[in-house]
């Protein structure tokens, strides 16, 4: 780091990725700062600078270096690979500790203390935050969670029986214990209670038990979601396949139809936003959303745009740029496994079909469909402030 870079950072002040510390009184405080950044988005700790940006300098460099080494390799589990950079500014030594975005979350100090960044400050992780950290590390998957108070009676066994016969070419056993074993092996049931995946895939009325895991769809008159006037408004519940189908029905009754390259007046029109692009976007929202967040998917149709918003930012090290190249992290592996099966044509007549390939090409298909239709590609937005991932299509004026 150069003197000019240091001055610019100090002038910009502290934020979630930049922390000023005059000094550390003990190694545990240093460890907590490093772990909080690793558990969040990474960042830089500048030691020798006061909270108000005064450059004071480090007095005992050997001691600080020893603490940094011990904190990163012994106090924090798993270890963190930090990089230090010493800068001399007006005969004052500043130590820059560069903490990477953690790829092996969650990081604990003294095995039990988990810290996260909140703006320029840090605090102990809440239960929900710790769950999300474990989810990022593939230690915990939300779709495997048991839904308390449920039982085999909450599953639509006729629907599951049809799926089982088509997929495995076998009849379900009549014996309840044998049936429970099959459902447990498929991770749809655990200890007599349904898992989240079981309820979302084969539940009788999952929206009554999990009212937050639905789609809220609104077609507004204008271009602002704060206005009270709307053309169409509905809550879409049911199993995921039903949510997918009804979301597409919502688009089909509220979007315009246009003729592309029509050779005759009688040629059927197509949706102004290609159906395949919308299908892929809704499928991604249903299968890749963060089910640890108690919130609904939202579909907003405005006069000038369509926004599809799903709870949760992109998992771990996934970025908007690499999802366009087909990179994905399985946040909900059970749902993805079943969706890949249900994507086959034979499940369409059962009302179970979800168009999911499982090979990470969904975003590419969205872009290709928009290109073929000669419309602008959608905007992909990772909104870290609201904790949402948004896909925004422009409408034809």
Q: Are residues 334 and 250 in the same domain?
A: yes
Residue where one domain finishes, among candidates 184, 208, 232: 208
Shared domain check, 268 and 149: no
pLDDT at 370: 92
Angstrom distance (rounded) from CA 19 to CA 2: 18
| pLDDT the model gives residue 317 | 67
What secondary structure does DSSP assign to 188-237, as a single string? Answer: SEETTEEBHHHHHHHBSSHHHH-TTSSEEEEEESSS-TTSS-EEEEEEE-
Give the residues across from 392 on adjacent strands. Answer: 307, 379
Contact 105, 137 (CB under 8 A): yes
Local structure of residue 155 (DSSP, 8 states) = B
36: closest CA among 134, 110, 121? Answer: 121
Among 175, 33, 192, 10, smallest CA distance to 97 is for 33
Q: Which of 89, 64, 65, 82 is nearest to 2 (CA)?
A: 89
- Residues 68, 36: one domain? yes
Pairing state of beta strands 113-118 and 121-124?
antiparallel
Q: How many residues does the chain have?
A: 397
How many domains, the chain?
A: 3
What are the tens digits of pLDDT across the range 353-379? 888 876 667 888 999 999 999 999 999
Query: Looking at 140, 163, 187, which one is the last position of a domain?
Result: 140
Q: Looking at residue 45, which CATH number applies to its domain? A: 3.30.950.30
| pTM given for the model | 0.73
Phi, psi dihedral angles at 117 (to 5 degrees): -85, 140
Rounded distance, CA 86 to CA 193, Å?
56
Instruction: Give residue 263's pLDDT.
Output: 58
252 and 184 assigned to the same domain: no
Does 278 share its domain with 129? no
Q: For position 359, what pLDDT does the model report?
A: 66
Q: What is the pLDDT of residue 272?
A: 94
**Distance (Å, rounded) from C-alpha 143 to C-alpha 187?**
9
133-144: burial string, b at 16+ Cβ within 10 Å, e else: bbbbbeebbbbe
Closest listed residue to residue 337, CA positions, set 211, 188, 171, 194: 188
Nearest to 46 by CA among 57, 31, 60: 57
Residues 158 and 87 in one domain: no
Per-residue model confidence (pLDDT) at position 266: 61
Q: How far apart are CA 6 and CA 174, in angstroms?
A: 71
Name the E strands within the chain: 18-21, 43-47, 76-77, 83-89, 92-99, 108-109, 113-118, 121-124, 189-190, 193-194, 215-220, 230-236, 257-258, 270-271, 297-301, 305-311, 379-383, 388-394
One domain for residues 315 and 221: yes
Alpha carbons 88 and 59: distance in angstroms, whole number: 13
Q: What is the CATH number of the domain that holds 348?
A: 3.30.565.60
The pLDDT value given to residue 366: 92
What integer pLDDT is reported at residue 138 of this predicted model? 62
Query: Do 295 and 197 lie in a common domain?
Result: no
Q: Are 132 and 292 in contact (CB under 8 A)?
A: yes
Domain with 163 in it: 143-208
Say yes or no: 307 and 346 in one domain: yes
89 plus 199 within the same structural domain: no
Please name the residues in contact with 15: beta carbons below 8 A apart, sequence gap of 6 or more. Answer: 119, 120
Q: Are residues 390 and 255 in the same domain?
A: yes
The number of angstroms, rounded, from the C-alpha of 357 to the middle of its chain's C-alpha atoms is 19
Distance CA 331, CA 288 (A): 6
Assess whether 156 and 71 both reside in one domain: no
Which strands make up the sheet holding 388-394, listed edge to edge? 230-236, 215-220, 297-301, 305-311, 388-394, 379-383
Predicted confidence at residue 221, as pLDDT, reads 92
For residues 35 and 107, the answer to whether their CB atoms sit within 8 Å is yes
pLDDT (tens digit, 9 = 90+) per residue, 139-171? 678 899 999 999 999 999 999 999 999 888 889
> Which residue, of 108, 140, 172, is where some domain finishes?
140
According to the model, what pLDDT value does residue 103 have? 77
Q: Per-block average pLDDT, block size 10, for the chain (397 residues)?
A: 88 90 93 92 92 90 94 93 92 94 86 86 83 71 92 94 89 92 95 95 95 96 86 96 95 90 66 94 94 94 96 79 75 90 76 77 88 93 90 90
């Amino acid at each position: 780091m150069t003197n000019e870079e240091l001055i610019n950072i100090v002038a910009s002040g502290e934020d979630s990725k930049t922390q000023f510390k005059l000094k550390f009184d003990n190694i545990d405080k240093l460890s907590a700062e490093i772990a909080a950044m690793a558990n969040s988005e990474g960042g830089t700790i500048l030691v020798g600078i006061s909270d108000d940006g005064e450059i004071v300098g480090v007095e005992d460099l050997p001691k600080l270096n020893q603490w940094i080494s011990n904190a990163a390799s012994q106090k924090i589990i798993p270890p963190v690979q930090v990089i230090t950079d010493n800068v001399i500014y007006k005969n004052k030594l500043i130590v820059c500790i560069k903490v990477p975005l953690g790829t092996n979350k969650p990081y604990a100090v003294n095995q039990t203390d988990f810290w996260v960044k909140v703006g320029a400050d840090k605090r102990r992780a809440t239960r929900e935050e710790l769950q999300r950290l474990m989810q990022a590390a593939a230690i915990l998957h939300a779709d495997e969670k048991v839904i308390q108070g449920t039982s085999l009676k909450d599953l639509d066994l006729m629907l599951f029986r049809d799926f089982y016969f088509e997929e495995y070419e076998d009849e379900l056993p009549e014996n309840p214990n044998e049936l429970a074993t099959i459902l447990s092996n498929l991770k749809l049931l655990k200890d007599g209670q349904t898992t989240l995946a079981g309820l979302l895939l084969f539940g009788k009325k999952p929206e009554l038990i999990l009212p937050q895991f639905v789609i809220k769809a609104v077609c507004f008159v204008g271009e602002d979601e704060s206005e009270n006037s709307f053309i169409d408004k509905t809550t879409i519940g049911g199993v995921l396949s039903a949510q997918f189908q009804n979301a597409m029905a919502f688009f089909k009754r509220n979007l315009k139809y246009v003729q592309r390259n029509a050779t005759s007046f009688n040629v059927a029109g197509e949706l102004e936003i290609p159906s395949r692009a919308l299908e892929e976007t809704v499928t991604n929202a249903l299968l890749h959303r963060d089910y640890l967040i108690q919130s609904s998917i939202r579909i907003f149709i405005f006069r000038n745009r369509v926004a599809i918003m799903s709870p949760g930012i992109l998992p771990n090290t996934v970025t908007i740029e690499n999802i366009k190249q087909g990179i994905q992290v399985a946040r909900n592996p059970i749902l993805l496994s079943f969706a890949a099966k249900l994507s086959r044509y034979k499940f369409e007549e059962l009302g179970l079909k979800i168009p999911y390939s499982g090979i990470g090409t969904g975003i590419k298909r969205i872009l290709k469909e928009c290109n073929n239709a000669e419309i602008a590609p959608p905007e992909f937005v990772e909104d870290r402030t609201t904790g949402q991932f948004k896909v925004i299509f422009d409408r034809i004026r």
